[in-house]
Structure 1
């Protein structure tokens, strides 16, 4: 995807026209897919031929992301932030694991401390003794991990301070929605791209966010589930927004109570709310023109 983005930008500047097949699986017909992928395995040449055929036949009509505006800047900063968050989580896991295996003289003093106190205590510690002593070596290693954790936390705070104003500037109406913060708004903007007008409808955006309902009947039970195809990070952002609203938004809490009384499970209610939030988010994306105003009904 990074190579594709680097290729499309200069060619777009040269007035070239791009069409983006949605997925390789959609490039193949139901008749061709088993012979070309399931039996013979993955093949770049087969994928390239299928993509070209889909474009020439008119089945592929997607417009790629332009990657030339503020959303692309947000994407670059968020990529670094996500790696810092992942590294900080790994550091804490390693720190906790090292405490469990440390000598009892070290372990007994540290294992009951909450995370903030633990990190602060270890970062300010001054281990003494010889490194060939397991207790001294454990204290030294824990001190280094604690300082690494604090450095990564500072890096994350700096990234938040940079990303927050960009997200607010790009989509102030989006950030103002209940339950939507700079992190979730940044992810949804990244999913939509700098040219969200390429999405034909709010249903297309819901499908892109893996929030489109799919019929999944079981026996005499007529039910639905979410289509798992799509951007899982965007789906996670929608899930976060829904959970926050279920806890803090009075209208959403009333909706949950009403649907629970009707017999819906919590999982089905969250599915319905994700679809509603996707619809609401779409109408608040920047530079999207609509023939009609967004539906005023809320969850």
Structure 2
């Protein structure tokens, strides 16, 4: 008689330099744990080690978008089903301790029991390229805002002569004027000269960051339209909002099986908070907050006061909910849930 092949479910606890794997059989019995290098060769050795125990059915991986990104890409090329596993909660760690083998086993049990079912994002398409460009743009925008604030602070504390010259300038004029200053470096020990040197350095940095942002926008905006023209053409959806929603969904948006799953991902699905005779829902503070902000921008744009920007349907819905006793903030939360349903259709078709 031939023995049936053991069905193996694995879990991987990922780190920068090493990955720890645990293998379970279909009854939940621990077959073993092992540690491998976080390199292409280590990825191959990990999969070979798992196959020695039987037929690999599914692998739960922690951090598929961080330390486990390389391993996840490799497993996809080998046609291995991968599910994303969240780290164990504090209660579990308090009772079972913390170690790499323990975390790997917990990931394997989450995949075996079906508690972990999330499909990782694919990171080999146009949306991944868009994500990389948006990271650089977001960093440049934040840095430029910080530079602008420090320019303003230095202007307030500058000497009277320099302060009187700069205090009434607009932000654009202030940057241009400070970038054109010609202080003498030989007198850097003088406070006024040092202030001019600092202002010129910050202003030129501001100009360089503005140039970088403009160049990135010239790459990002056409890419967003090329990836999903229907999303870019939706009412109230600009390149920034569309780019964020595309990155949130990933290169494989069909991993989000329903529009309710997308709403939960964006943090706009109200959570039940009922008990006994009390039936209510509470605000969802989880999910991708940047995607939540993108949906908020769409809602605010559609109920704008200007005639050119407003959307009659959206304003009528907002007014109807306010008459029912909701506040403006609560009405916008309801709007975001409906907008998420619309956006989901655009992302998946």
Q: TM-score, normalised by structure 2?
A: 0.74
Structure 1 contact 225–271 (Cα < 8 Å) conserved: no
Larger Rg belongs to:
2
Q: Does 1:234 align with 2:301?
A: no
Residue by residue, what CA displacement relative to the aligned partner does 1:85-112 show, whole Å, maximum 9, x if unpaired?
1111111122122222222222232233
Alignment of 1:164-175 (within 5 A): 164-175=221-232
Q: 1:76 aligns with which of 132, 136, 144?
A: 132
Alignment of 1:103-118 (within 5 A): 103-118=159-174
Alignment of 1:121-132 (within 5 A): 121-128=177-184, 130-132=187-189
Distance 1:5 1:139, change over 3 A: same
Alignment of 1:1-299 (within 5 A): 1-21=65-85, 23-25=86-88, 34-37=91-94, 44-128=100-184, 130-216=187-273, 224-247=281-304, 248-251=309-312, 252-285=314-347, 288=348
Matched residue count: 279
Distance 1:206 1:42, change over 3 A: farther
Distance 1:134 1:69, change over 3 A: same
Structure 2 residue runs of 5 or longer lacking an equivalent are 1-64
Cross-structure match for 2:8: none
Shift of 1:144: 1.2
Shift of 1:2: 2.9
Distance 1:257 1:83, change over 3 A: same
Shift of 1:12: 1.0
Structure 2 contact 179–204 (Cα < 8 Å) conserved: yes
Shift of 1:45: 4.7
Q: Which has the higher contact order (CA 8 A, sep 6+)?
A: 1
Distance 1:104 1:194, change over 3 A: same
Distance 1:20 1:103, change over 3 A: same
Distance 1:143 1:223, change over 3 A: farther
CA RMSD between the two structures = 2.4
Distance 1:98 1:223, change over 3 A: farther
The structure that is helix-richer by fraction is 1
Structure 1 residue runs of 5 or longer lacking an equivalent are 290-299
Per mean C-alpha deviation after superposition, the further-off stretch among 249-258 and 170-179 is: 249-258
- Structure 2: distance between partners of 1:108 and 1:229: 48
SS in 2 for 1:87: helix
SS in 1 for 2:82: coil
Cross-structure match for 1:292: none
Distance 1:47 1:103, change over 3 A: farther
Shift of 1:123: 1.6
Structure 1 contact 36–46 (Cα < 8 Å) conserved: no
The structure that is strand-richer by fraction is 2
Shift of 1:222: 6.2
